[in-house]
Amino acid sequence: METQPKSKRKVPPGSPLFPDRPRLGKVEIARRKAESHAFAERCRAIFNQVAPQLIADHYEWSIHIEPDSGDYFIDPDSEVCFQKAKQKHPTKMLMEMCLNETGACGRI
* Assessment of whether the complete model's pTM goes beyond 0.85: no
Q: Tens digit of pLDDT for each residue in 32-86? A: 999 999 999 999 999 999 999 999 899 999 999 999 999 999 999 999 999 999 9
The answer for residues whose C-beta is within 8 angstroms of residue 65's C-beta and 6 or more apart is 43, 46, 47, 71, 72, 94, 95, 96, 97
Q: Where are the domains of the chain?
A: 26-98
